Structure 1
């Protein structure tokens, strides 16, 4: 009985966790405009990976938004991300490139990680394995699925407050 309850709790917690992100799978990204997610724009600050994180998103311009991410641990930059969300094929596509503290790219020169749009709700946008959720005017949460070779996928939650 104890093993059964443990299994049920595991299944329930996995189900709850996985509801924050969605996968596109074989589906086609829905129609959307960059203006549908303009609420992401802002200078957001939070904590993750044992340090301070910054996420900065520009307002829509030229059918795109530009973002950057920085992780600082013990007053030292660990890595950066450069991000874009662009209108493509009547939908949205999020692209991310990673850089170390000296701006050496993690991905190949002409490669970025792509997250196609899965679904948009009033204050939530689901990209494949990555979700933005506006909690309030001053709070943004981002959920990201991390995949490591040989390990289970893990969803991480980034809590941000609007910087003053």
Structure 2
């Protein structure tokens, strides 16, 4: 079965549930998790500034776009959208912010009418496990800078049968918002 054979809404539901229900030691090898007694990695927002930019790709049978603003105020803000058959299927609002001596990634999903999928005060949260100049490993989600113009995001998930799996999104650097 290929990524395009699975309805997008089932895959996104799996992504949402994957973080909360995933065994801490059950992630694919290059998607790291914090053990229950581990502390998040030390980092500042400048350590992940390389994520900023306009990123475009294809997934779930449609076009994907992830836009990250540069660091400001010890945080970055991003948005994701999926467009299939010229219709928005869903949005995500994301932040990466300094918390203590580390970083935490938070996200919320929204339908095309901006109705939230998660409870009002409950974002999906991914603490930082490890960071380098080309990779940021959050608990269950990995950002990798494959080249100056290629960003890969990998998310841990569980299959219907409970087996560990992953979703990989590959983005290329897009044009700026003015089309240039």
TM-score (norm 1): 0.86
Rounded Cα–Cα distance in structure 1 between residues aligned with 2:160 and 2:73: 37
In structure 2, the partner of 1:81 is 92
**Do structure 1's residue 134 and structure 2's residue 145 form an aligned pair?**
yes
Cα distance in 1 for partners of 2:160, 2:106 equals: 21
Stretches of structure 2 that go unaligned for 5 or more consecutive residues are 1-26, 176-180
Counterpart mapping for 1:151-162 below 5 A = 151-162=162-173
Q: Distance in 1 between matches of 2:160 and 2:110?
A: 20
**Which of residues 77, 96, 118 is equivalent to 1:66?**
77
Per-residue deviation, residues 101-153 of structure 1 (Å, max 9, x unmatched): 11000001111000000001220010001000001111100001124676323
In structure 1, what is the Cα distance between the partners aligned to 2:77 and 2:55? 14
**Structure 2 counterpart of 1:22, from 25, 28, 32:** 32
Q: How many Å apart are 1:89 and its aligned residue?
A: 1.1
SS at match of 2:65: strand
The answer to whether the 8 Å contact 2:28/2:165 transfers is no
Moved more, 102-111 or 19-28: 19-28
Shift >4 Å, 4+ stretches:
none
- TM-score where L is the length of structure 2: 0.79
Larger radius of gyration: 1
Aligned residue in 2 for 1:48: 59
Structure 1 gap ranges (5+): 1-16
Aligned residues: 148
